[in-house]
């Protein structure tokens, strides 16, 4: 029987070259995508700043023991590309890192 887990994946990337219409659309939404809205969710969240140089995408990816880390990262990057496309832009130079939430050890005070 395989064990299920969830990976927390952070993908960083750059926006593909933007035309003026894309820049205007992203800037119109920048307040909704600032650092204060950064969350790891199953749908994922895109965050970027007014400079429009790059973005981060945070997502939770469910997986089993049979799923490799590379498969998890690939799924996350596919979701990142789709999320940025939904904002009206393309992306390049994606780099992702993941953490298996089951492997996180919590240190309690006083123990």
| pLDDT per residue as tens digits for the range 57-93 | 999 999 988 888 899 999 999 999 999 999 999 999 9
| pLDDT per residue as tens digits for the range 51-66 | 999 999 999 999 988 8
Fold for the domain defined by 4-103: Alpha-Beta Plaits (3.30.70)
Return the pLDDT at 105: 67
User: What is the pTM assigned to this prediction?
Assistant: 0.87
The residues spanned by each domain of the chain are: 4-103
| Helix, strand, coil fractions of the chain, as percent rounded to 5 | 35, 35, 30
Token duo for residue 57 = 């995408």
How many Å separate Cα 28 from the centre of its chain?
A: 21
């Amino acid at each position: 029987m395989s064990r299920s887990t969830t990976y927390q994946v952070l993908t960083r990337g750059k926006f593909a070259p933007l035309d003026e219409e894309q820049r205007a659309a992203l800037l119109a939404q920048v307040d909704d995508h600032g650092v204060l809205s950064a969350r790891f969710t199953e749908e994922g969240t895109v965050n970027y700043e007014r400079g429009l140089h790059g973005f981060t995408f945070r997502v939770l990816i469910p997986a089993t023991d049979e799923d490799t880390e590379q498969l998890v990262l690939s799924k996350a990057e596919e979701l990142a590309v789709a999320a940025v496309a939904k904002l009206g832009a393309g992306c390049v130079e994606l780099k992702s890192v993941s953490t298996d939430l089951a492997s996180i050890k919590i240190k309690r005070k006083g123990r």
